[in-house]
Amino acid sequence: MAETIKPPTIAESQETGAKVPRVMVVDDEILNLKLIGAMLKPQGYEVILANDGEECLQKVAENPPDLILLDIMMPKLNGFDVVTRLKAEERFALIPIVMVTALQDVNDRVKALEVGAEDFLTKPVDRMELRARVRSLLKVKAYNDHMVNYRQELESEVRRRTLEIQETNKMLEKAHEKLRGASLETIFRLSRAAEFKDEDTGAHIISMSRISARIAKQCGLSPTTVESILYASPMHDIGKIGIPDRILLKNGPLNDEEWTIMRMHTVFGGKILENSDIGFLRLGEVIALTHHEKFDGSGYPKGLKGKQIPLAGRIVAVADVFDALMSRRPYKPAFTPEQAIGIITDGRGRHFDPDVVDVFINDIPEILRIWRSSQEEQSKEVQEALKMP
């Protein structure tokens, strides 16, 4: 099993470990180079010197530093031009640049910031101010580097898991002769794979999909659309395959950082299902992306509001929340039907589409019958599995 990718904290990003921060000093005056170098080396930094702008660009290209202290008035290539060229290249854009200059004109300082410099120091440089600015900007650079690396690792892991799902999908499709039968089995298998460690997942997929189809039918949708929602709704949380297990299976409430990552399952699900030629999968993409949008616009991932949210997403939102409330989870016990219905009702017009909630409330006896039937079926499946030699 692949190692779980943990999101970075600010404290972690500020620690450079064994890596020695590299600070480049660029000035056409040798005395200035030696003076600033003498101020920084006792702090444990590796100091690289460059006599002009062209040498700076050459050394940056060979081995990018973590910070650049750059003079403005230099022969060949002045500091403004150096900053402009460095910030134009993506691989160098995050390197903090401090302009070190004797210029007192406010326009020069404004220009330095406009071309992309992060800060400036006035000559003669004060030792304490220099060290404080360097230390602060190196922490920012370390954090940015950590975030870039984390993002790349996360994207790589999502791609790997997505490829696994796609390969599984291909294998299942080859195993069946009829497209509808293959699609339906693939949908349920992939949906279970996304949350396979959750003991209630099987019942959740069955009940929420059947309740979604029932609500769709009571909303007056065509039989074809109702059937499509029945087959596509189980894929609503397929993006959880990209969520680390430490968050997905946490026994307790998620903190803000964990919630930020958890919310990404909607985007991951959309990416997994996008560009399919199969109708159920196309609808599954829509549902995966929109079932956590809220009617008042406070949902995610896009903050859609009202009828901007596709009807399938609005229907599945009610069915999904109702089943989740009725089911035991690592972070909560199962609610009673009265409690679950009360929460759905309270969310009318805020979390949920009022029309969909009205349809749901008016059909409660049948909704509860469907939910209980799904629980019984799942229980029988588990019991039969335990009897197998």
Per-residue model confidence as pLDDT tens digits over 46-101? 999 999 989 999 999 999 999 999 988 888 888 898 999 998 888 888 899 998 88
How many independent structural domains does the chain possess? 2
Residue 298 pLDDT level (bands cut at 50, 70, 90) = very high
Q: Are 242 and 262 in contact (CB under 8 A)?
A: no
pLDDT of 216 reads: 97
pLDDT of 309 reads: 97
Amino acid identity for residue 102 in this structure:
A
**Higher per-residue confidence, 371 vs 122:** 371
Q: Identify whether residues 112 and 199 lie together within a single domain.
A: no
pTM tops 0.85, yes or no: no
**Is 93 buried (19+), middle (13-18) or exposed (0-12) by CB count in 10 A?**
exposed
Q: Identify whether residues 114 and 204 lie together within a single domain.
A: no
Residue 275 pLDDT level (bands cut at 50, 70, 90) = confident
Q: Identify whether residues 237 and 375 lie together within a single domain.
A: yes
**47, β-bridge pairs:** 23
Helix, strand, or coil (residue 278)? coil
Show the DSSP H helices in the chain as ranges: 10-14, 30-40, 53-62, 79-87, 106-114, 127-174, 179-194, 201-218, 223-232, 245-248, 256-262, 265-273, 279-290, 311-326, 337-346, 354-362, 364-387
Q: Identify whether residues 209 and 352 lie together within a single domain.
A: yes
Q: Identify whether residues 141 and 185 lie together within a single domain.
A: no
**Higher per-residue confidence, 41 vs 249:** 41
Question: If you average pLDDT over every residue of the chain, what do you get?
Answer: 83
Q: Identify whether residues 255 and 359 lie together within a single domain.
A: yes
Domain CATH code at residue 104: 3.40.50.2300
Q: How much is the average pLDDT of 291-304? A: 96
Q: Identify whether residues 250 and 367 lie together within a single domain.
A: yes
Could you tell me which residues come within 8 angstroms of residue 45 by beta carbon, excluding any fewer than 6 positions away?
Answer: 20, 21, 22, 23, 134
Q: Identify whether residues 135 and 266 lie together within a single domain.
A: no
Q: Identify whether residues 216 and 327 lie together within a single domain.
A: yes
Domain CATH code at residue 223: 1.10.3210.10
End position of a domain, from candidates 118, 145, 172: 145
State which of 41-50, 149-158, 374-383 shows the largest mean pLDDT.
Answer: 41-50
Is residue 154 a part of any domain in this protein? no
Q: Identify whether residues 120 and 210 lie together within a single domain.
A: no
pLDDT of 149 reads: 82
Q: How much is the average pLDDT of 15-35? A: 82
Is residue 347 a part of any domain in this protein? yes
Is residue 356 a part of any domain in this protein? yes
Is residue 165 a part of any domain in this protein? no
End position of a domain, from candidates 145, 165, 199: 145
Is residue 87 a part of any domain in this protein? yes
pLDDT tens digits for 211-246?
Answer: 999 999 999 999 999 999 998 998 898 888 888 888
Is residue 217 a part of any domain in this protein? yes
Q: Look up the domain containing 41 and give its range.
A: 10-145
Q: How much is the average pLDDT of 311-327? A: 95
Q: Identify whether residues 234 and 290 lie together within a single domain.
A: yes
Residue 11 pLDDT level (bands cut at 50, 70, 90) = very low
Q: Evaluate if residue 197 carries a pLDDT over 80.
A: no
pLDDT of 145 reads: 78
Residue 168 pLDDT level (bands cut at 50, 70, 90) = confident
State which of 141-145, 191-195, 377-381 shows the largest mean pLDDT.
Answer: 141-145
pLDDT of 248 reads: 79
Q: Evaluate if residue 328 carries a pLDDT over 70.
A: yes
Is residue 156 a part of any domain in this protein? no
- Calculate helix-pair angle for 265-273, 279-290, nearest 10 degrees: 170
Residue 196 pLDDT level (bands cut at 50, 70, 90) = low
pLDDT of 187 reads: 65
pLDDT of 203 reads: 72
**Higher per-residue confidence, 109 vs 8:** 109
Least confident segment among 105-109, 204-208, 354-358: 105-109
Kindly state the tokens that stand for 147: 């975030």
Q: Evaluate if residue 12 carries a pLDDT over 60.
A: no
End position of a domain, from candidates 121, 145, 169: 145
Is residue 166 a part of any domain in this protein? no
Q: Identify whether residues 218 and 141 lie together within a single domain.
A: no
pLDDT tens digits for 126-146?
Answer: 889 889 888 888 888 888 878
pLDDT of 382 reads: 47
pLDDT of 209 reads: 92
